[in-house]
Amino acid sequence: MVSTHSSSQKILVTGGAGFIGSHTVVALVEAGFEPVIVDNFSNSEPAVLDGLRAILGRDIICYHADCNDAAAMTEIFRTEQLSGVIHFAAYKAVGESVQQPLKYYRNNLDSTMLLLELMPQFNVRNLVFSSSCTVYGQPEILPVTEDTPRLPAQSPYGNTKAICEDIIRDTVHAGTPIKAFSLRYFNPIGAHPSAQIGELPRGVPGNLVPYITQTAAGLREKLTVFGDDYNTPDGSCIRDFIHVMDLADAHVSALRLLDQSRTNSLYDVYNIGTGHGASVLELIRTFEDVNGIQVNYTTGPRRPGDVEQIYAVVDKANRDMDWQAQRSLGDALRDAWAWQKKLSKIV
């Protein structure tokens, strides 16, 4: 463990070595918070800490531990004087969750419940939980607000997000002195503009942008666009792609809002997206334009379980948190390519 000394508010960042967590660590430090990472590196690399050091010019406290290890987590809560928790740690591979549902329910639910038990014991009030637009399924009406009904999840992974939201809500409503927000992320993409940290998919990427960057880097032969016969203007699916640094900033805004609230117990949900939909084909074209590089792609059949289109209304976060996405799709795709070039040692 690497330790630093600071009198600023300490925030436990579970899964802080992961894609969104590592970018949020940067945003937290820049906003004057002191992040404390706990990660078991089940889906990340300790080298992320080197990237963070290169950006921040100093070490970040990091515990190599499992968020389901009650003894280890209790020790962390005892040692660190925490004022809040951001709970990123979870398994997130949709397809794998269908094959191994218990692995997903065990990791994602137990870690959340353990935090809800530890927080009041150690007088830690503020919790930000990583939820997902996956809880909306394919909504009947677009764009989606926080009042759009959640639909039965398409996967055990999606179910874990809906169930964790409910566990947190019920715990708060029972009068537990916790103030919590579930942030429903839309599709995070991109990387830190320094190219020191970014997404590190293991094996063949399931997500669109890493697949594009790996294809552009020559690691994959060809991208397949899953379906061109959807009921959308160009036939490909539509998503609300958000720069991961904008998403990271939303966590800082969420913590500030939680801190300002004078109530003892509070629970709310927020959509975190750009408010704009972009199609898969549009995204590929933007990637090519901003980076001046061709992506080898073909169209193929639809991917089972994909929703046709989803994008957010983000008025609630704009209003309550005074937050909105600042970076463009082009910015995100430029940063994603810079990160891939660094990984692939392309000059």
Which residues does the annotation mark as catalytic? 157
Does position 182 bind ligand NAD by CB under 6 A? Answer: no
Q: What is the DSSP code (8-state) at residue 119? A: H
Q: What is the C-alpha to C-alpha distance for residues 50 and 65, in angstroms, rounded to an integer?
A: 18
Estimate to the nearest angstrom the gap between the alpha carbon of 318 and the chain centroid.
Answer: 18
Q: Name the residue number minimizing CB distance to ligand NAD.
A: 18
Does position 237 bind ligand WQD by CB under 6 A? Answer: yes
Q: What is the SS3 assignment for 34? A: strand
Q: What is the C-alpha to C-alpha distance for residues 336 and 209, in angstroms, rounded to an integer?
A: 8
- Among ligand NAD, ligand WQD, none, the one that 67 touches (CB under a kind-dependent 5 to 8 A) is ligand NAD
The length of the chain in residues reads 347
Does position 206 bind ligand WQD by CB under 6 A? Answer: yes
97 contacts: CB under 8 Å, gap ≥ 6 = 91, 103, 104, 155, 156, 157, 158, 160
- Supply the minimum distance, in Å, between the C-beta of residue 274 and ligand WQD: 14
Shorter beta-carbon distance to ligand NAD: residue 44 or 83: 44
According to DSSP, the β-strands at 238-239 and 278-279 are: antiparallel
Q: What is the C-alpha to C-alpha distance for residues 317 and 270, in angstroms, rounded to an integer?
A: 6
302 within 8 A of 227, measured Cβ to Cβ: yes
How many residues bind ligand NAD (CB under 6 A)? The answer is: 27
- Supply the minimum distance, in Å, between the C-beta of residue 259 and ligand NAD: 22
- Supply the minimum distance, in Å, between the C-beta of residue 168 and ligand NAD: 13
Does position 15 bind ligand NAD by CB under 6 A? Answer: yes
Q: What is the SS3 assignment for 339? A: helix
**Token digits of residue 237:** 């699916």
Shorter beta-carbon distance to ligand WQD: residue 266 or 280: 280
According to DSSP, the β-strands at 238-239 and 241-243 are: unpaired
Q: Which stretch binds ligand NAD (CB under 6 A): 53-61, 85-93, 217-225, 293-301?
A: 85-93
- Supply the minimum distance, in Å, between the C-beta of residue 263 and ligand NAD: 26
- Supply the minimum distance, in Å, between the C-beta of residue 16 and ligand NAD: 7
Does position 278 bind ligand WQD by CB under 6 A? Answer: no
Shorter beta-carbon distance to ligand NAD: residue 20 or 338: 20
Q: What is the C-alpha to C-alpha distance for residues 314 and 144, in angstroms, rounded to an integer?
A: 9
Shorter beta-carbon distance to ligand WQD: residue 9 or 187: 187
Does position 318 bind ligand WQD by CB under 6 A? Answer: no
- Among ligand NAD, ligand WQD, none, the one that 273 touches (CB under a kind-dependent 5 to 8 A) is none
For the packed helices 208-216 and 329-343, what is the interaxial angle rounded to 10 degrees?
A: 50
| Site residues, ligand NAD (CB under 6 A) | 15, 17-21, 38-44, 66-68, 88-90, 92, 107, 111, 130, 132, 185, 187-188
